[in-house]
């Protein structure tokens, strides 16, 4: 095994078949198309991109909820394609999932105690005492104290922020090594977002957790992750350490995303933003070459619209899939 690499994603593709009249195939939605990256133990990685670029599909494929069309996911040195049934179950138990919509994530008819006990029961934690201990620890970790106040509550009795904390508590209760959290705060108000993100950050540090933090909000990445990966049209267009990335954004799409993000600053009202028009590509019929080329002002005729760019190294650990860096 390589030094403390927890997760290795190699040339991963997840396609969805599109059918007409229920059976005639009209092609594939290439939601995740040849994606490769590594995640170290204890590392927080932001996955950023606009809606429809494949973030959720990537997350769900890593979690074993979608079967990849091709490619490989190596967890703790072993390919999940080679896992036995028992190993798949153990694998899933080692990953926590915080899904996109907290309101849909919690069963409305279960109280908090039941919600947190479920994954324990499913994974064979039989002793009542052990269950109580783990539930108490999970709630305490998420600052939901006194614990007794929350145990009998049903989801509708909790605020949006509290519900999301229950979702996170459930994701970490089995002591996973990796938590995948898909837009964990996008449905919440500004004043509570930070509280949730800071709690996740504390968990990450305290338990040496690896975190895949999916977001469309670039302004949060510097506070909550070490590394960033930008997706566009099913592909990774740029990845690198957060600070280096912010100092030296290289892919034209990434540059546009940064330009489009507004900090609260009265000077903003005086200038126009230089952002491309147009729309993200169809993943059923993506454009040839670089998927961003139809919107890109640096497009090199005959190259960008023909050949798919490979990853070019910008600096150590920082790469961009763009012909400008050939």
Partner 1 sequence: MEKNKKIFNVKDLCLYFQTKRGPVQAVDQVSFSLVCGRTIVFVGESGCGKTSLARAILRLLPRNVHTYSGKVFLNSINIMALKEEVFRKEIRWVKAAMVPQAAMNALNPVIKVEEQIAEPLLVHDLVQTKDEAHKRVVEACRLVGLPLDFLGRYPFELSGGMRQRAAIAMALAAKPDLVVLDEPTSALDLLTQANIMNVLKRIKKETGITFILITHDIGTSSELADDAAVMYAGQIVEKSDAAHFFTEPLHPYAEKLMASVPTLREDKELDFIPGQPPSLLNPPSGCRFADRCHKRFDKCVYEPPFLEVKKNHWVKCWLYE
Ligand X SMILES: Nc1ncnc2c1ncn2[C@@H]1O[C@H](COP(=O)(O)OP(=O)(O)O)[C@@H](O)[C@H]1O
- DSSP single-letter state for residue 307: S
Residues numbered 126-165 forming contacts with partner 1, rule: CB under 8 A: 159, 161
SS3 assignment, position 289: coil
Give yes or no for a contact between 236 and 13, defined as CB atoms under 8 angstroms apart.
no
**Token duo for residue 319:** 């790469």
Does position 108 interact with partner 1 (CB under 8 A)? The reply is no
Which residues, 6 or more positions from 205, have their beta carbon under 8 angstroms from its beta carbon? none
Does position 195 interact with partner 1 (CB under 8 A)? The reply is yes
Does position 228 interact with partner 1 (CB under 8 A)? The reply is no
Residues at the site binding ligand X, with contacts judged by CB under 6 A: 16, 29, 31, 49, 51-57, 283
Residues numbered 233-252 forming contacts with partner 1, rule: CB under 8 A: 246
What is the smallest separation between the CB atom of 164 and ligand X, expressed in angstroms? 18
Q: Which is nearer to Mg ion, 215 or 250 (CB)?
A: 215
- Give CA–CA dist 43/12, Å, rounded: 21
What is the smallest separation between the CB atom of 182 and Mg ion, expressed in angstroms? 6
Find which of partner 1, Mg ion, ligand X, none residue 24 binds, CB within 5 to 8 Å per kind.
none
Number of residues written out for the chain: 326
- The CA dihedral of 214, 218, 220, 221, to the nearest 10 degrees, is 70
Does position 26 interact with partner 1 (CB under 8 A)? The reply is no
Which residues, 6 or more positions from 117, have their beta carbon under 8 angstroms from its beta carbon? 131, 135
What is the smallest separation between the CB atom of 270 and partner 1, expressed in angstroms? 9
- Give CA–CA dist 196/36, Å, rounded: 29
Beta strand ranges found along the chain (DSSP E) = 5-20, 24-40, 44-48, 70-75, 78-79, 95-98, 178-182, 210-215, 227-232, 235-241, 312-315, 318-320
> Which of 18, 175, 223, 248: binder of partner 1 (CB under 8 A)?
223
Find which of ligand X, Mg ion, partner 1, none residue 258 binds, CB within 5 to 8 Å per kind.
partner 1
Q: Which is nearer to ligand X, 54 or 240 (CB)?
A: 54
Q: Which is nearer to partner 1, 45 or 74 (CB)?
A: 45
**Token duo for residue 176:** 């996973």
Does position 205 interact with partner 1 (CB under 8 A)? The reply is no
- # residues contacting partner 1 (CB under 8 A): 40
Binding mask 272-301 for partner 1 (x = CB under 8 A): xx-xxx-xx---------------------
Does position 56 interact with Mg ion (CB under 5 A)? The reply is yes
Angle subtended at Cα 213 by Cα 208 and Cα 215, rounded to the nearest 5 degrees = 160
CB-nearest residue to Mg ion: 56
- DSSP single-letter state for residue 2: -
Which stretches of the chain bind partner 1, using CB under 8 A?
50-51, 159, 161, 189-195, 198, 216-220, 222-223, 246, 256-266, 268-269, 272-273, 275-277, 279-280
């Amino acid at each position: 095994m390589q030094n403390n690499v927890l997760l290795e994603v190699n040339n991963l593709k997840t396609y969805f078949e599109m059918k007409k009249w229920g059976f005639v195939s009209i092609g594939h939605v290439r939601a995740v198309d040849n994606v490769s990256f590594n995640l170290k133990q204890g590392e927080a990685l932001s996955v950023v991109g606009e809606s429809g670029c494949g973030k959720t599909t990537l997350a769900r494929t890593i979690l074993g909820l979608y079967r990849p069309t091709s490619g490989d996911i190596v967890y703790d040195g072993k390919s999940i394609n080679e896992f036995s049934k028992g190993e798949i179950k153990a694998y899933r138990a080692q990953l926590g999932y915080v899904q996109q919509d907290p309101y849909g994530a919690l069963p409305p008819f279960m109280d908090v105690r039941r919600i947190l006990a479920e994954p324990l029961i499913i994974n064979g934690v039989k002793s009542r005492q052990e269950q109580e201990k783990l539930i108490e620890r999970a709630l305490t970790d998420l600052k939901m104290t006194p614990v007794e106040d929350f145990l009998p509550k049903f989801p509708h009795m909790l605020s949006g922020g509290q519900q999301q904390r229950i979702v996170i508590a459930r994701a970490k209760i089995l002591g996973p090594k990796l938590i995948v959290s898909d837009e964990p705060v996008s449905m919440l108000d500004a004043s509570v977002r930070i509280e949730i993100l800071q709690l996740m950050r504390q968990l990450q540090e305290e338990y040496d957790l690896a975190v895949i933090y999916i977001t469309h909000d670039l302004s949060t990445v510097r506070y909550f992750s070490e590394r960033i990966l930008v997706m566009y049209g099913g592909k990774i267009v740029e990845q690198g350490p957060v600070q280096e990335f912010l100092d030296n954004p290289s892919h034209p799409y990434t540059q546009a995303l940064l330009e489009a993000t507004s900090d609260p600053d009265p000077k903003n009202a005086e200038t126009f933003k230089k952002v491309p028009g147009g729309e993200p590509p169809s993943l059923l019929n993506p454009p040839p070459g670089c998927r961003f080329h139809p919107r890109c002002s640096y497009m090199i005729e005959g190259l960008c619209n023909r050949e798919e760019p490979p990853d070019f190294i910008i600096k150590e650990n920082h790469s961009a899939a763009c012909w400008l860096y050939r």
